[in-house]
Amino acid sequence: MKDLLSSIAEGALLFTFIFLLKRIYDLTDLLVAGDATYLVTLKLLSSILPTIMLLTFPMAILLAAMMVYGRLAQDNELTALQAAGYNSRQLLIPVVLIGAILTALLLWWGHRIAPKGLRYFDSMAASILQDTATAGIRPGGFNPLGDYIIVPNTIDDDGIMHNVRMYEHSGGRITTSISAPSGSISYAPIDNSIFLNMQHGNIFQVTEQGRRMNINFDRFDFSIGISGLLNKLAKPSHSENKLSHADLLFTIKNPKPDDASMARWWIRCKIELARRSALPFACLIMAVLGALLGIISGRGKRSSCYAMTIVIIFSYYVMLNFSESLANSEMLSSYVSLWIPNIIGVLIAVYFYYRTVYV
Residue 231 has a pLDDT of: 54
pTM of the model: 0.71
Residue 348 has a pLDDT of: 93
Residue 33 has a pLDDT of: 52
* Distance separating alpha carbons of residues 215 and 160, to the nearest angstrom: 23
Residue 173 has a pLDDT of: 76
What residue spans of the chain are helical by DSSP H? 2-34, 38-74, 77-83, 88-91, 93-108, 114-133, 227-234, 245-253, 260-278, 281-297, 302-328, 334-338, 340-358
Residue 150 has a pLDDT of: 85
Per-residue pLDDT of the chain (359 residues; tens, 9 = 90+): 889 999 999 999 999 988 888 777 766 655 655 556 677 777 878 888 888 889 899 999 999 999 999 988 888 888 888 888 888 788 889 999 999 999 999 999 988 898 988 888 877 776 666 655 554 567 877 777 767 888 888 888 776 888 998 888 876 778 888 999 988 877 665 566 777 888 889 988 877 777 788 889 899 887 776 555 555 555 545 678 888 888 888 888 888 887 877 888 888 888 989 999 899 999 999 999 999 998 888 777 888 888 889 999 999 999 999 998 888 888 888 888 999 999 999 999 999 988 887 65
Residue 299 has a pLDDT of: 74
Residue 40 has a pLDDT of: 74
Residue 225 has a pLDDT of: 65
Residue 286 has a pLDDT of: 94
Sign of torsion over alpha carbons 88, 93, 282, 339: positive
Residue 20 has a pLDDT of: 83
Residue 136 has a pLDDT of: 57
**CB-based contacts of 89: which residues, under 8 Å, 6+ apart?**
357
